[in-house]
Each structure stands twice: as C-alpha cells, then as structure tokens.
C-alpha cells in the first residue's frame, strides 16, 4: 500500500505534486468509457487519462488526428461518471488548441463544463505556450506532453524514439523548463532516451510521467488496452502486457458461439 492511498480521498493536482515531493511514483492509465474507468478507479490509479489515443483504440483510426472535440467530450463524460478517486485528465484533440489561444480556452471550457474532467493535456512546448497560458489563467490545470507527440506524426514521419540528437534534446530540456515556469502541473515525456528523461526529471520541480522514457521519471503511463493485451499488433519495446485479453475474450466468444450452436445455452437454470 502506497503512502498516500491511506489518507487521500480523491486525487488532486496537489496530491500529484506531493507524490513527487515524497518520492512516491505516480501511476497513470488511459480510459475512454464508463466500465473500464470504473475498474481502473477501483484499483486506485493516481491519474486516469482520457487520451486522444481513443482515436486509435476505440475508433480504429491510424493516427490521433481525426478525433473531434465532441468525441473527446463524450469519452471524458463517460469516464468522469465512473470515477470517485482518480484525477481525470482529458486530452485536447488536434485542431482544438494549436495556433489560437482563444480557441484553446474555448475548447478547454467545453471539456471542463460538459465532461466534468479535472485537468487538460496538450502536446508541445514553446509553440503552444500562448494557449497554455490562457488556459492556466482561467484556472484550469494543464499537463504538458513532450518527446513523441503523436498529433505531430506527419511532421516527424515515424513513431521512433525522439530527441536522440543533441539539438532536439536541448530543445526538449528548454521546453520542459518553460512548461514548469508558465505553471503546468506535470509533464508527460513520451519515447525518449532514459538518460535524457532523468535529466529533465531532475531539472524540474513538477512531476514528470514517462511512457517509453525509462525508470528515472516520477511516474509511468500506459494505454490501458495495450497493457491488458486487448490491442494485439502494437508491440513497442516499452510496453509490458499484464494480460492477454484479446485471446481470452476471443476464446470466451468462441465458447459462447459453440454453446449456442449446440443448443447448450441457455440451460434449465438460465430460463424463466
Ligand atoms: O493519448 C494518449 O493515450 C496519450 C498517452 C500515450 C500519454 O497521450
């Protein structure tokens, strides 16, 4: 049992900061719907991310770009309805905040009012500074996201490790300091070298949460469907699968089909 679970009724951004300050690692997972969010919240994960990875996982798109603000609000609303304990962070989707801070604030206000989420996440550093500052001024906590930022996939061209070269690593370190300075409550670092992630984590006072960023960060995040083995073809090196639910669910469905075909379901006890 972790230190904070004994005394925390509900996770807030202040609790997240206190975890870093006390040296306790932060746990974070995605959820996009009521049923999964209920399970993850019951397990007392610190942060639930309503990620725009819903675009891939729930809708089957190749990238995160197509998901809309309305769709993110639908997912976030379903998650918030289930959650009693965890902090719920909602991704601002592609096109809802870049290059226009007024639009960024309007998108954020819709998420906060309509879904009841507790904070938002945006991808990028200096290029989205104005949007982040306007959102923060309205009193909404912001989580940053640096390294591999999937909304910029067509700029990068691939999903390979980011910031391996000096110039990009320096820029990332500067961006992390900038996000801290303007008031973000935490930063996600995605798919960057572990040594660089450590350097960034040691250089800022706010929590740094990694995905494919090694062990020397303040916490870890994974996509729930990946760690449960529901998605089968996505196999990055950083992913640990805790279950193989694709095969388990398929086996159960095959069993059900067999029972129906053989007229073994329903039996006497399963009818009125
Ligand atoms: O959308 C998402 O799931 C994310 C995580 C991979 C951090 O941004």
Mean pLDDT, the chain, as a whole number?
Answer: 97
Contact residues of ligand 1, CB 6 A cut-off? 30, 49, 51-53, 91, 188, 190, 211, 221, 223
The number of residues making up the chain comes to 272
In tens, the pLDDT along 236-255 reads 999 999 999 999 999 999 99
91 C-alpha to ligand 1 centroid (Å): 8
Same domain assignment for residues 252 and 200: no
3-state secondary structure at position 27: strand
pLDDT in tens, 130-161: 999 999 999 999 999 999 999 999 999 999 99
Do 25 and 117 sit in the same domain of this protein? yes
Is there a single domain that holds both residue 269 and residue 138? no
Both 161 and 249 in one domain: the answer is: no
Q: In this structure, are 139 and 250 located in the same domain? A: no
Regarding whether 211 and 118 lie in a shared domain, the answer is yes
Q: Are 248 and 236 in a shared domain? A: no
**Percentage with pLDDT > 70 across the chain:** 98
166 C-alpha vs ligand 1 centroid, how far in Å? 25
Residue-level pLDDT at 243? 98
Helices (H), the chain: 13-22, 34-42, 54-57, 69-82, 101-115, 129-137, 153-156, 166-182, 194-203, 224-227, 245-261
| 4 has pLDDT over 90 | no
Please give the pLDDT value at position 7. 83
**The domain spanning residue 167 has which CATH number?**
3.20.20.60
> What is the per-residue pLDDT for 3?
60
- Domain of 265, in residue numbers: 244-272
Residue nearest to atom 5 of ligand 1 (CA): 51
pLDDT at residue 6 is higher than 70:
no
Residues 113, 234 within the same domain? yes
The verdict on 94 and 216 lying in the same domain is yes
Shortest-distance atom of ligand 1 to CA 223: 3
Contacts of residue 198, defined as CB under 8 A and 6 or more positions apart, other chains included, come to: 214, 216, 217
Q: How far is the CA of 53 from the centre of ligand 1 (A)?
A: 6
The closest residue, in CA terms, to atom 1 on ligand 1 is 51
Whether 269 is a known active-site residue: answer no
As a whole number, mean pLDDT of residues 101-123 equals: 98
Q: Take atom 8 of ligand 1 and give the residue whose Cα is closest.
A: 51
Domain count across the chain: 2
The pLDDT tens digits of the residues spanning 54-73 come to 999 999 999 999 999 999 99
């Amino acid at each position: 049992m972790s230190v904070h679970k004994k005394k925390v009724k509900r996770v807030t951004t202040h609790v997240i900061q206190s975890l870093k300050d006390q040296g306790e690692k932060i746990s974070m997972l995605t959820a996009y719907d009521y049923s999964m969010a209920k399970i993850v919240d019951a397990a007392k994960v610190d942060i639930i991310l309503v990620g725009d990875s819903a675009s891939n996982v729930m809708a089957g798109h190749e990238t995160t770009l197509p998901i809309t603000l309305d769709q993110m609000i639908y997912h976030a609303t379903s998650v918030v309805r289930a959650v009693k304990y965890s902090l719920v962070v909602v991704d601002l989707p592609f096109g809802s905040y870049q290059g226009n801070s007024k639009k960024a604030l309007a998108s954020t206000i819709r998420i906060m009012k309509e879904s009841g989420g507790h904070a938002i996440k945006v991808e990028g550093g200096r290029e989205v500074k104005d949007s982040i500052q306007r959102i923060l001024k309205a009193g909404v906590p912001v989580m940053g996201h640096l390294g591999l930022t999937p909304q910029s996939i067509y700029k990068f061209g691939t999903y390979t490790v980011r910031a391996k070269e000096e110039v990009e690593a320096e820029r990332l370190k500067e961006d992390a300091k900038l996000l801290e300075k303007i008031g973000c409550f935490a930063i996600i670092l995605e798919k960057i070298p572990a040594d660089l992630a450590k350097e960034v984590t040691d250089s800022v006072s706010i929590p740094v949460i990694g995905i494919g960023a090694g062990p020397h960060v303040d916490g870890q995040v994974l996509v729930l469907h990946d760690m449960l083995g529901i998605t089968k073809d996505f196999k990055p090196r950083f992913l640990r699968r805790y279950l193989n639910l694709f095969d388990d669910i398929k086996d159960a469905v095959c069993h059900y089909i067999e029972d129906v075909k053989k007229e073994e379901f329903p039996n006497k006890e399963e009818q009125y």
